[in-house]
A = this chain, B = another copy of it.
């Protein structure tokens, strides 16, 4: 008998948080107030100039395919953005506009990863990152990391874990779920190590811009021989528009172009036109205000969680997450999250969505809701813990 389900579907995990979300919706339907701190999506609306640019394009009625690599003027603007914000020069031929960072991962790994080949990545990490590897029948070798390396892979990790089956290394900075960024020195050393080994370096930079101290370095500051994955979703507030970008090493341009033609045709046209407005000065000013608000939220939540008794091994630098150790209260963080939702209507994400590295002792709080709402959540959380 033919086994009809593809083998890769067994390795790919569902998001455990979906069960929580499902239950949260049921509770909401019953009239219960749920505070959502599980959501990896900014609560701010898309900037007005971006929305207006989208509407303006739709009004032409002319929503045809763009070229597979994206609108030339958008690729140009992305290149200019790198020049202005990072002082790096990126040939726009290396830039591909994609259906979100998801599309960028599909192209980057599609162009470079064979079945059975391994990528090294940190544990904890965002589950999709390892699942993309499995999507191509590759192996995600997740390496336990902790606060001593800012939850990031270092050159030492890479040297230690590199085998004949290793194809490359994925670094995500700021990290989801820990919010930590890789330091410039760490990043430079990691890239040079991978380049010496002859592998591929993938830099997931989708939370760039959402940092509240030092800026996160881009891999492009240290080498052109890297894949960089980024998106308009997070900092630019364009989640539902599904538009991101991928930068590839020169030798991958032709293969990436072929793949993009075949697996996407093109990214949504109106989303691309809208994204052109994301780089306007007035939009960037608005986004900087939001960043300040996220920074204030981080500080509020960080202090509140410490006060309630969570351990946070390292203060997060960016994204909108705090990965908190709850071992003082439980050895089963998933059950903890379920019980917290049931008892107090606060939704958070269990550690096991991010790997196996002490996952039962961690939960992720997203500060994608207002400080006022988070303040109520903290009261509820405290009550829940004191009862337990």
Contact = CB atoms under 8 A, between A and B. Distances in A.
A288 interface: no
Contacts of A155: none
A266 B103 CA distance: 11
Contacts of A263: 102, 105-106, 128, 131-132, 135
Task: Give the interface centre of A14, A54, A64, A66 by most chain B CB atoms within 10 Å.
Answer: A64
Contacts of A65: 41, 239-240
A13 B255 CA distance: 10
Nearest to A257: B14
Interface in A39-68: 41, 45-46, 48, 51, 54-55, 58-59, 61-66
19 contacts: A1-B198, A4-B199, A6-B113, A8-B114, A9-B110, A51-B61, A58-B58, A63-B239, A63-B240, A63-B241, A99-B99, A100-B264, A100-B265, A127-B262, A128-B265, A135-B259, A136-B136, A242-B265, A268-B268
Interface in A117-131: 127-128, 131
Nearest to A2: B198
A330 interface: no
A232 B102 CA distance: 21
Interface residues of A, number: 74
B61 A58 contact: no
Contacts of A200: 4
A373 interface: no
A375 interface: no
Contacts of A128: 261-263, 265
B51 A242 contact: no
A307 interface: no
Contacts of A268: 99, 240-242, 268, 271
In the complex, the count of this chain's copies comes to: 2
Given A6-B111, A110-B135, A128-B263, 4 more contacts: A2-B198, A5-B251, A9-B255, A58-B58
A252 interface: yes
A66 B240 contact: yes
A136 B262 CA distance: 12
B45 A54 contact: no
A265 B242 CA distance: 9
Contacts of A127: 262
Contacts of A308: none
Contacts of A51: 58-59, 61, 63
